[in-house]
Chain A
C-alpha cells in the first residue's frame, strides 16, 4: 500500500489500535485483576487522546471465541461528545465490553478439554489491519497507524498461519505492531510480530506498574521513536507451527514449492499438492525452514 507522504498528518499524530485480551481463562489465573488492568489501560487511552487533538484510538476486544470493536474515538457517536467528556468514553467502552463478554461467553458452550486456552488473536489482528486499510483508503488525511497488543493468554499454535499472514501484511503496509505480554511465559507470536514489523515488544516485570510501562514505552509516537532508546529484543523465538497437527516445532519438513511446514514426512503437500520424493535422512536436516522470516 503506497502511502503518499502528503496524505499524512504532522509527524506525531497517531492512530493506535489497541487489542485487548479478554480471555477469561487467562484473567482468572492472572496476578493482575481484569478491572485493575482496565483502569491502567483506560488511563493510557486518555493520555493518547490528550496528547494530540487529532490522535485516534480504536479498541478491539480479543475474546476466547470471537473479537469485536469496542471503542472508536473517531466514530460519530463519540464525536458528538468529543474529548471533553472522557467519562462518557469510558462508560461507552465498558458497556460495549460487557456486551461483548456476554456474547463471547454464550459462544463457548462446551468446555474445551486439554486444548491450550488461547484467545482469538489472529481474528483481532486481522480486524485491526482491516480498520487501518480502511483509514488508508478513506482518501482524506490520515494519522500514522500502529497496533498495540495487550496480550496475556498463551499462543494458540492452530492460529499460526493466520497470524503470520496478518503479520506479513502489516509489514507490507508498514504498520508496526507493538506488543506488551502480560502472561507468565513469553509469547513467540508477539515477539515475531513486533520483530518483523519493527514494533516494540516488552514483557513488564511488575504488572502493578503497567501504566508507567505503557506511558514510557508504548505512548511514544512513531516519529520520536527514531531518537529514543526503546526495549530491544534480546532473543526472538522464531519457532513455527506445523500445518498438519498445529504443533509448535523446532525442526520439521518443509515443502520446497510453497514453504508449508510439516512435523512428519508426507507423500504430498497438503497445501499445494506437490508430490514429494522419498524422505532421505539428510532431508531432515533442512531445519532452516523456520527462517522464512524475511529480513526487516
Chain B
C-alpha cells in the first residue's frame, strides 16, 4: 500500500536501473560521481574511498576482513548497492570474486579529491545581475511556488495562480494520486493522502521521478535529465547562472523546474539567468535526512483542539484531511480532531501512524521543545480509534469437510495444529478451517492417508 513512499525514497534505484552504457556515460560527469558517492550507505562510501587508489581488483575476502562480526548485513547491503550502481565491477576469477572500481568513476573521483571540484558553471558577475534576491526571499519564493504547485495538484480550482504545466503534464503528476470517477470531482487516493503528509523533499523526488519517466515518453533522454538534475544540486543557491550555458533540452526543463520552485528565472537587460533555490541544492542530500526540516506550525491541546499558525491554503487542505476545521483567522487555523473526522481519514486510507507523525513533525516550535510534542492522550486516542476499525482480522483460509472417518479427521486436525494452521474445528460434524498457507501441505497429508 505505501507504494508512494518506496518510490520516493529510492531515486537512486532509478539511476541504477539505467542501462550500463548510459550509466557509464553519466559517470563521465564529475558531479554525478559526487552525487552518487553521497547517496551511498556509509559503509559503501568507505569502501570506495579505500579503493580509490587501488588499481588491481580486490578479493571480496580481503574486504570482509575489515568487518567485525555484526557488520555482515551492512556489508552485503553496501556491496549490493555498489554493484547495482556499477561503481564496483565484479570480476570472477577462478573461485574468487574480486571487485574493482569503475574506472571512469575512479578517475573522476580522484580528480575531485586532488584538485578539488570545479563549479558546474561560473556564476554571473554582480555587474550584470545587479540586485539578486536574498536567501530569505529565495526561500519564500521556492516555498510559495511549491505550495502553489501542490494546491493545483490536489484541487485545480483552488490555486491562485496557475503554473505553466500543461494540463496533460498535470494529469501525469496526478496519476496515482487522484482518482476520478466519471463526472465526479476527482478524489485523492490513498497514496495521494500519503503523498501530502510526506515531507517536502520526499514529495519533490516523487514529482521529479514522474517528470523524468514522463519525459522519456516524449523522447528526451532520461540519463541527460538525471545528470542535469544532479548537476543542478551542486550549484550555489542564490547565485545567478546564465541561461546561455544550457542546452535546449535543459532550457525547456529549467522552465518546468522554475514552476516547482527549484530555480528562479530572472531577466536582465540583455541576458536572462536562473538562480537555484535551496530546494534544488537539497536534491543530492540523502533522502532519509531530515535536514530540510521546516519550522512547524501546529499546536495540539489535550482537549483535541488544534491550532495551526499558518495562512497557507495548502496547510488548511492537509489539516482538513483528518480534522474538522472550525474557523480560519488571517494567520491561524483552528480545528478539532474528532472521531468523525478521523474515521473519514481512515476511510481514505490514511493511517493513524501517519497522522501522528505529521502532527509531531509539524509541531510548533513552542511545543516541539516539550516531550511529547503532541499530548499523549491525543495520540493514544487516535490509535485507539484506528484499532476500533480493525476489530475483524482477515486470514485467507480453506474449509474442509466430509472426512471419511473420525481417525482421518483427527489426524488431519492434529497435523494442522502441528503446523500452527488450525483456525477452527467442529469435531461433531467433522469440519475444520485451515490457513491457506498450509493448504498444500494439508492436501499432501490427506492424500498420503488415503492410500
Contact = CB atoms under 8 A, between A and B. Distances in A.
Contacts of A84: 117-120, 234-236
Contacts of A82: 236
Contact of B113 (A11, A43, A87): A43
Given A50-B34, A82-B236, A221-B42, A228 B67 contact: yes
Given A54-B285, A84-B234, A228-B67, A220 B291 contact: no
B52 interface: yes
Given A51-B38, A81-B236, A227 B43 contact: yes
Interface stretch (A26-34, A171-179, A209-217, A285-293): A209-217
Nearest to B112: A50
A229 interface: yes
Contact of B114 (A43, A53, A83): A43
A92 to B, nearest CB: 12
Interface in A209-238: 211-212, 215-216, 219-221, 223-224, 226-229
B112 A46 contact: yes
B327 interface: no
A51 B116 contact: no
B424 interface: no
A213 B119 CA distance: 29
Interface string A53-90: 11000000000000000000000000011111111011
B30 to A, nearest CB: 10
A81 B115 CA distance: 16
Contacts of A86: 112, 115-117
B112 A141 contact: no
B113 A47 contact: yes
Nearest to A87: B116
Interface string B273-309: 0000000000011101111010000000000000000
B363 to A, nearest CB: 12
Interface of B: 34, 37-38, 42-43, 45-46, 49-50, 52-53, 65-68, 70-71, 74-75, 109, 112-120, 234-236, 284-286, 288-291, 293
23 contacts: A50-B37, A51-B37, A51-B38, A53-B38, A53-B284, A84-B118, A86-B112, A87-B115, A87-B116, A87-B118, A141-B291, A211-B53, A215-B53, A216-B50, A220-B46, A224-B46, A227-B70, A228-B66, A228-B68, A228-B71, A229-B65, A229-B67, A229-B68
B99 to A, nearest CB: 16
Contacts of B236: 80-82, 84
A52 interface: yes
Which 3 pairs across A and B sit closest by C-beta, in order of nearness? Answer: A86-B116, A227-B71, A84-B119
Given A10-B290, A50-B112, A227-B68, 7 more contacts: A12-B42, A43-B113, A53-B284, A86-B112, A141-B291, A226-B68, A228-B46
B119 A215 contact: no
Nearest to A215: B49
Nearest to B42: A12
A216 B37 CA distance: 16
A217 to B, nearest CB: 10
A9 B43 contact: no
A54 B291 contact: yes
B52 to A, nearest CB: 7
A47 to B, nearest CB: 5
A83 B234 contact: yes
B218 to A, nearest CB: 31
Given A10-B289, A83-B234, A141-B291, A227 B74 contact: yes
Nearest to A47: B113
A167 B89 CA distance: 44
A53 B290 CA distance: 13
Nearest to A53: B285
Given A227-B43, A227-B68, A229-B66, A46 B289 contact: no
Nearest to B120: A84
A83 B281 CA distance: 11
B43 to A, nearest CB: 5
Contacts of B68: 226-229
Contacts of A224: 42-43, 46
Given A53-B285, A223-B42, A46 B116 contact: yes
Contacts of B293: 141
A46 B284 CA distance: 17
Contacts of B38: 50-53
A223 B286 CA distance: 16
Contacts of B118: 84-85, 87
A273 B235 CA distance: 62
